Structure 1
Amino acid sequence: MIQAIAFYLFAGVVLLAGAMTVSSRNPVNAVMWLILAFFNAAGLMVLCGAEFIAMLLVIVYVGAVAVLFLFVVMMLDIDVAEMRAGFARFWPLGLALAAALAAEIVFYAFGSLHGGLKLTLSHPAATAAKPNIQALGELLYTRYLFVFEGAGLVLLVAMIGAIVLTHRDRKGTRYQNIGRQNARRPQDATRNVDQPVGVGVEL
């Protein structure tokens, strides 16, 4: 009973947050609604027993992607009127995609009512006796070990390349000397000048 209540609560908030994301006129508010949708989707994954997917939703999507979107939206000067004009041009394509997604949902629901759809093959590591994270860890570090290490190596090379491309030699840059600033006396910080009227200031 509690699981059913939690499912309908999380699912309802996800649907509400998704609708508010696509209908919000303020981009910052849209990103905040998107973050709320991600959190509740993570709750749904926990109810399904997919703790690893829930953790990925919170850490990767909320902690990195959505926050990055929020920073970009807040830092950029976005013309909302121009965005609305561009959005109005793609109404037919958006309606076609929405109809296709609705057809897929109906097809899956119809198939589930008539025996279900067998989407994947079972693996020996993914048994009911083992938790989801343990079975996933065994697959990553046994069968897909070299693929997993290769993906980490690619990400490491990409990070090093980004650092090399953005690194600049700051020759001639004057750095802040904290010790010299703290050792400065108050009488050396300001200078009182009896400035005559109509004469410029000499620096």
Structure 2
Amino acid sequence: MDFQTVVFYFFSAVMVLASLRVITARNPVHAALFLVLAFFSAGGIWMLLHAEFLAIALVMVYVGAVMVLFLFVVMMLDINLERIRQGFWSYLPVGALVGVLMVVEMIMVLGGRYFGLEGMPEPGPAPAGYSNTKELGRLIYTDYVYPFELASIVLLVAMVAAVALTLRKRKNVKKVDPAQQISVKRDDRVRIVSMTSEKR
């Protein structure tokens, strides 16, 4: 077993354990931090697969932006965990069925050759001057342009929802309406009073 295989198994074990802690941690902040650890481990696996752009994008976009936003939302909202857990047992059979189906799909994808299924062909050596970043950009903006646009719309909706969830109206905050400022006339603000002069 070479060093690259050992590093792959290390990152995989860390990612699986962190993913389990994401769904089993009682504190939502701890769950979010375990999700950050899972993203870092996935980025390490992408680096082992020579997909440097995907690894850096995963760390910068998800860990640097999405997870920070998620942590802010979790910390600013007063989440009642007891009320959320009330319907856990009623949704458990459906969730277990979906989980079993996903495990079966992953087993068929990864071990398809053992079940007599045609798997993906083994990739050959990359030609000289090959850039996976350039190839990824070509695929995104040609073959997968519509799914890419749909994903961007979903992220935009998530950002707007996060802002809407954390937006709270405060009564004691002084604010100015620019429309009222612009529509003010001189006679509304200035009053000229004529007074007779007094002699002492």
Query: 1:45 matched to which residue of 2?
Result: 46
Query: 1:131 matched to which residue of 2?
Result: 131
Is 1:78 the counterpart of 2:84? The answer is no
Q: Which runs of 5+ in 2 are unaligned?
A: 161-166, 168-174, 179-200
Alpha-carbon deviations, 1:98-148, whole Å to 9, x = none?
1001110111133144585238xx9xxx954303123334556xx73xx59
How many aligned residue pairs are there? 152
Is 1:19 the counterpart of 2:20? The answer is yes
Q: Which runs of 5+ in 1 are unaligned?
A: 173-203
**RMSD, aligned CA:** 3.3
- The DSSP-based 3-state class of the residue aligned with 1:90 is helix
Bigger relative contact order (CA 8 A; separation at least 6): 2
CA distance in 2, matches of 1:138, 1:110: 30
Q: How does 1:56-75 map to 2 (within 5 A)?
A: 56-75=57-76
Decide whether aligned partners of structure 1 residues 20 and 3 sit closer, same or farther in structure 2, where only a CA change above 3 A counts. Answer: same
Query: 2:176 matched to which residue of 1?
Result: 170
Query: 1:118 matched to which residue of 2?
Result: 120
Percent of residue pairs identical: 38
Alpha-carbon deviations, 1:52-99, whole Å to 9, x = none?
221221111111211111110110001111121133321011101110
Decide whether aligned partners of structure 1 residues 170 and 116 sit closer, same or farther in structure 2, where only a CA change above 3 A counts. Answer: farther
User: What TM-score do you get using the length of structure 2 for normalisation?
Assistant: 0.64
Is 1:8 the counterpart of 2:9? The answer is yes
CA distance in 2, matches of 1:65, 1:97: 26
Deviates more, 1:82-91 or 1:41-50: 82-91
